[in-house]
Amino acid sequence: MTTPTPLLRLDGITKRFPGVLANDSVDFDVQAGEIHALLGENGAGKSTLMKILYGLYNQDEGQVFLAGEPADITRPSDAIQAGLAMIHQHFMLVPTLSVAENVALGLADSGFLVDTSSVADRISELSTQYGLAVDPESNVWQLAVGERQRVEIIKALYRDCRLLILDEPTAVLTPQEVEELFVILRKMADDSRGLIFISHKLDEVLALADRITVLRDGRVVGETKPEATSKEELARMMVGRPVQLTPDKKPSQHGRVRLAIEGLQVEGDRGRRAVNSFSIDVRGGEIVGIAGVSGNGQRELAEALAGLRPVTGGRILLDDTEVTGSTPREVRGAGLAYVPEERMRDGVIGEFTVAENLILVDHNAEPYCRRGVLHMRNVAERAVTLVERFNVKTPTIDTITRSLSGGNIQKLILARELSAEPTVLVASQPTRGVDIGAAEYIHRRLVEERDRGTAILVISEDLDEVLTLADQVAVMFEGRLMAVRDRAAVRVEEIGLLMAGSGA
């Protein structure tokens, strides 16, 4: 039986950057009607490979073939002309324009005047054909996250793409929206389109993909099919060693309330209320996880708890002591440690050394500082101890922090915050953008800290992470607390409805 010609074939793709071999003779192909998942840790070469395919980079060696013919793709317009489309994790839409206007943007034959009525008619046809429920006349800013993603898919279909690249497409969706997306993607594959699915969510990869290719250190280390593998085996291929995907976790031995949030109200950057009458208790020895789609007040809640954002109403109590309106230093002194959402913006100073970042919040205290003078021996001793204890991989403690991987920077922040032996820890997006190996370590340390008696509030847009760590699951929508459920009694379907603002 003759093997059909692949819709896409990458043959020996190699890409070098100064000091880095990003792709090393990578072979990869996609058949028409196939969903091919591409896995790998950060830095494995996935993004570089897709940027080459989409014309954002040019390969140093190797060849791209489309439908068996060599393809010279040197810029994104070449890729679009060849029938390729890419949907990024952060949508490329203009919020103030309508759906039809966004779809019309960049069309080769649109000229200066666009007949949006004909565009809208075609959008309606595609919506019916693929189950993409969206109003062509709606402005994008009015749409929910899942609807915005449908607009991105409609843009690709409108241009009659034959090959679609999806980069972490489920990162901001509720469970119900993920199910709806998978139905749409399968319809696209059934229509003889090829799809490349990039995700770190192994359950989703196993549920959706027809084939799976794993990259590590720029090389293909394996290709398999869902029925022939498991999450554990895929994780081992990605990391190069066995990975414990779920930390060992004993039942919570919770104690008294350590963090009490009462009727909290916080404004966002645009002056609108972002946190609205939010109340919850976190007890020592338990992890409370807050789930929710991005943009529902999670960032503002975390910053208010850490003293980084003003509170306009309600109270925050740490061990029965009110800290509402306190400075970050006062909040920390009262026993709260904070792992911020944006590690490079709020967690470290990139140009400082590892040692300097490890004393960032204690630099004016003994034994690191006396009479305004830093005692570098004490600083170095602390840094060496914490680097070893928290498995921070760094050439030396004098290495500039921005040169470390995201996972090691996150471990550095965790080391600094936990070294203060807090009674309360607020961890916002604790494993966002880190490797699966670093995520394994961070999850284990959070559980260990819980078992030490710390009250932990984990705020994460990754529902799998919340369900892995939490003893109590809370859901946040438009700044409000929708419900709190015991983890043992959680139904994912209910959590998904709550994340979308219904089901309470």
The domain limits of the chain are 8-239, 257-343+421-499
Paired with 165 in beta bridges are 86, 196
Residue 66 belongs to what H/E stretch? strand 61-66
Residues 206 and 372: their CA atoms lie apart, in Å, by 57
Residues 150 and 133: their CA atoms lie apart, in Å, by 8
Structurally, what CATH architecture does the domain formed by 257-343+421-499 represent?
3-Layer(aba) Sandwich (3.40)
Q: Give yes or no for a contact between 214 and 238, defined as CB atoms under 8 angstroms apart.
A: yes
Strand ranges for 366-452 from DSSP E? 369-370, 373-374, 424-428
Residues 228 and 238: their CA atoms lie apart, in Å, by 16
Question: Residue 61: which of 18, 28, 23 has the closest Cα?
Answer: 23
Q: Tell me, what's the pLDDT at 113? A: 61
Beta-carbon-side half-sphere exposure of residue 168 (alpha carbons within 13 Å): 15
Task: Output the CA torsion 390→393→399→400 (10° steps).
Answer: -80
Q: Which two tokens stand for residue 390?
A: 């928290």
Q: Which two tokens stand for residue 367?
A: 């034994």
Q: Tell me, what's the pLDDT at 311? A: 97
Residues 59 and 421: their CA atoms lie apart, in Å, by 49
Angle at 219 between CA 215 and CA 224, to 5 degrees: 45
**Taking the model in full, what pTM does it have?**
0.86
Residue 151 belongs to what H/E stretch? helix 145-158
Q: Which two tokens stand for residue 485?
A: 């459920």
What average pLDDT values come out for the chain (504 residues) when binned by 10 residues?
Answer: 87 94 96 97 90 94 96 92 86 88 74 74 91 89 85 91 92 86 94 94 95 96 97 95 92 93 94 95 98 93 97 97 95 96 93 93 71 75 94 94 92 95 96 90 96 97 94 96 95 93 75
Q: Tell me, what's the pLDDT at 172? A: 77
The position carrying tokens 């966004």 is: 102
Do strands 313-318 and 321-322 pair parallel, antiparallel, or not at all (unpaired)? antiparallel
Q: Which two tokens stand for residue 106?
A: 């960049």
Backbone conformation region of residue 225, classed left if phi is above 0, alpha if psi is from -120 to 50, else beta: beta
Q: Tell me, what's the pLDDT at 379? A: 82
CATH of domain 8-239: 3.40.50.300
Helix (H, G, I), strand (E, B) or coil at 316: strand
Residues 283 and 261: their CA atoms lie apart, in Å, by 12
Residues 273 and 255: their CA atoms lie apart, in Å, by 33
Q: Is 246 exposed, middle or buried (0-12, 13-18, 19+ CB in 10 A)?
A: middle
Q: Tell me, what's the pLDDT at 356? A: 92
* Other residues' Cβ atoms within 10 Å of the Cβ of residue 378: 15
Residue type, 363: H
Q: Tell me, what's the pLDDT at 232? A: 95
Q: Give yes or no for a contact between 309 and 264, defined as CB atoms under 8 angstroms apart.
A: no
Angle at 28 between CA 24 and CA 32, to 5 degrees: 165
Q: Which two tokens stand for residue 93?
A: 């839409």
Q: Tell me, what's the pLDDT at 108? A: 52
Q: Give yes or no for a contact between 161 and 84, defined as CB atoms under 8 angstroms apart.
A: yes
Paired with 66 in beta bridges are 8, 69
Residues 217 and 43: their CA atoms lie apart, in Å, by 7
Q: Tell me, what's the pLDDT at 19? A: 87
Angle between helices 145-158 and 116-130 (to 10 degrees): 110
Do strands 336-339 and 424-428 pair parallel, antiparallel, or not at all (unpaired)? parallel
Angle at 251 between CA 249 and CA 257, to 5 degrees: 110
The position carrying tokens 């192909």 is: 29
Q: Which two tokens stand for residue 122?
A: 């075609």
Q: Tell me, what's the pLDDT at 171? A: 79
Alpha-carbon Rg for the chain in angstroms: 24
Q: Tell me, what's the pLDDT at 65? A: 97
Angle between helices 406-418 and 436-451 (to 10 degrees): 10
Angle at 452 between CA 449 and CA 458, to 5 degrees: 35
Residues 159 and 80: their CA atoms lie apart, in Å, by 8
List strands edge to edge, sheet with 84-87: 84-87, 163-167, 194-198, 35-39, 211-216, 219-224
Residue 46 belongs to what H/E stretch? helix 46-53
* Other residues' Cβ atoms within 10 Å of the Cβ of residue 245: 17
Residue type, 35: I
Question: Residue 148: which of 299, 293, 342 has the closest Cα?
Answer: 293
